[in-house]
Structure 1
């Protein structure tokens, strides 16, 4: 998948622990851990909103798109 979650980086910048953020956002530490590892298929906008509020950041600070090699080739050739 070409969507990368940068939650660890933002937690480090804010000097915040995962369990603290989970409590502030109102999600389980397990779900936050799954999100950090990229093992989720989606995220609710309400959760993303809460993460951005508590971390004082923008969604783009937490989520990054990096095209796969196949995706890059298809978009350059007009196939995508």
Structure 2
């Protein structure tokens, strides 16, 4: 998949556990885990905004586009 989710990297840099972030942004740990693993098919802008606010980051710190090789 050409969209890479770097949320686990950002959490490690900020020294925040997934459980803490899930509580701060008011989503379940299971949904956060799906997002972290890159298995999510979509993300709500409100969730992305909450993550960015909680981690003091930009969406581009979390999501990265990598062109697939042909």
User: TM-score normalised to the size of structure 1?
Assistant: 0.86
> May I ask how many residue pairs the two structures share in their alignment?
70
Q: Which residue in the other structure is 1:55 paired with? A: 55
Describe how 1:1-80 pairs up with structure 2 within 5 A: 1-70=1-70
Distance in 2 (alpha carbons) for counterparts of 1:64 and 1:11: 16
Distance in 2 (alpha carbons) for counterparts of 1:13 and 1:68: 27
Residues 13-57 of structure 1: CA deviation (Å, up to 9, x unaligned): 100000000000000000000000011100000000000000000
> How well do the aligned residues superpose, as a CA RMSD in angstroms?
0.4
Distance in 2 (alpha carbons) for counterparts of 1:8 and 1:26: 18
User: TM-score normalised to the size of structure 2?
Assistant: 0.98
